[in-house]
């Protein structure tokens, strides 16, 4: 496969090379077939029917061989292109530091899940959380330590989401988002409390231990609402958790916000 076809000249050179190869192979194969079937004496008398039959066999054989080779090559190129597109799509939707979905990936996946849940009549609870006093962590321990904290929290959230069927993403900076389907408010609260405890930890690395806690906000999807409205309500619950002293969970329902830890 060509390593690089960038300019128009590259395209012309590549095409000319393949045409030359195809023409040369056709000539060689035709010569071999004709010599094998008709002999090497150019003055020999050969029945017209034999010549026609040999020509048809040569043309058919060359056509099959070339079309097969070109089709196989095209299939390989198409496969490589499909894999490249899939990888680019995955990268564009993945946060490189934590390995979680990024905001774009979350919005696309969450919108699809929300539509499916609505069609199936399932309840949806959104989660927003962020690392408490993350700027102070960066200021005191350095940005490398901050990255280690983000990566560790990402691992905790990803493992929890995988085992409990919760969509989790890094929403931006030190903020993370989640979506839980077909759960009651009590179940969602229990999940958030479990995460709050798991994320209350020390992150070790670079010769320092960084104490970490997180605050969580929950909001139930309301009939007729969309994803942005749902996430805004979860964000409001998160800010309420911050106001209450951090390292806790606040759930907001149709009426009010309720602290649960």
Chain centroid, CA 80 distance in Å = 16
Q: What's the confidence (pLDDT) of residue 255?
A: 54
- Number of neighbouring beta carbons within 10 Å of residue 119: 8
- Number of neighbouring beta carbons within 10 Å of residue 99: 12
What is the residue extent of each domain of the chain? 8-92, 103-259
Note every long-range contact of 242-247, with CB atoms under 8 Å and residues 24 or more positions apart, other chains counting. 242/132, 242/215, 246/132, 246/133, 246/213, 246/215, 247/132, 247/196, 247/200, 247/213, 247/214, 247/215
Q: What is the CATH number of domain 103-259?
A: 3.30.70.270
Distance CA 85, CA 120 (A): 32
Which candidate, 261, 243, 249, places its Cα nearest to that of 192? Answer: 249
Distance CA 254, CA 233 (A): 10
Q: What's the confidence (pLDDT) of residue 1?
A: 47
pLDDT along the chain (261 residues), means of 10: 67 77 73 67 61 69 73 78 78 92 95 91 94 97 96 97 96 96 93 96 94 96 86 95 94 68 64
The upper half-sphere exposure of residue 79, i.e. CA atoms within 13 Å in the direction of its Cβ, equals 7
Q: What's the confidence (pLDDT) of residue 225?
A: 81
8 A C-beta contact, residue 97 and residue 155: no
CA 163-165-167 angle, to 5 degrees, is: 115
Q: What's the confidence (pLDDT) of residue 56?
A: 73
Output the six-digit token pair for 203: 């992150």
- Residue with token string 């012309």: 12
Global model pTM greater than 0.75: no
The upper half-sphere exposure of residue 90, i.e. CA atoms within 13 Å in the direction of its Cβ, equals 7
42-86 residue pLDDT tens: 665 556 566 667 667 767 777 777 777 777 777 777 788 778 787
Which candidate, 163, 157, 71, 165, places its Cα nearest to that of 113? Answer: 165
Which burial class, exposed, middle or buried, applies to 170 when counting CB atoms under 10 A from its CB (0-12, 13-18, 19+)?
A: buried
Q: Which residues are catalytic?
A: 174
């Amino acid at each position: 496969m060509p390593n690089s076809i960038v300019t128009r000249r590259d395209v012309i050179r590549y095409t000319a090379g393949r045409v030359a190869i195809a023409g040369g192979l056709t000539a060689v194969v035709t010569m071999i077939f004709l010599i094998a079937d008709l002999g090497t004496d150019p003055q020999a008398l050969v029945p017209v029917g034999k010549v026609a039959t040999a020509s048809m066999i040569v043309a058919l054989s060359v056509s099959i061989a070339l079309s097969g080779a070109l089709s196989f090559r095209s299939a390989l190129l198409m496969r490589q292109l499909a894999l490249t597109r899939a990888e680019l799509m995955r990268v564009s939707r993945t946060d490189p530091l934590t390995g979680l979905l990024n905001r774009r990936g979350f919005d696309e996946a969450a919108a699809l899940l929300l539509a499916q849940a609505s069609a199936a009549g399932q309840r949806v609870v959104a989660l927003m959380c962020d690392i408490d006093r993350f700027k102070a962590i960066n200021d005191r321990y350095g940005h490398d330590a901050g990255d280690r904290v983000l990566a560790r929290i990402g691992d905790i959230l990803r493992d929890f989401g995988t085992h409990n069927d919760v969509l989790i993403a890094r929403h931006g900076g030190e903020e993370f988002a989640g979506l839980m389907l077909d759960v009651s408010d009590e179940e969602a609260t229990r999940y958030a409390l479990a995460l709050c405890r798991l994320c209350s930890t020390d992150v070790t690395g670079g010769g320092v231990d960084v104490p970490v806690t997180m605050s969580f906000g929950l909001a139930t999807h309301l009939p007729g609402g969309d994803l942005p409205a749902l996430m805004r309500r979860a964000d409001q619950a998160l800010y309420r958790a911050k106001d209450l002293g951090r390292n806790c969970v606040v759930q907001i329902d149709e009426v009010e916000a309720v602290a649960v830890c």
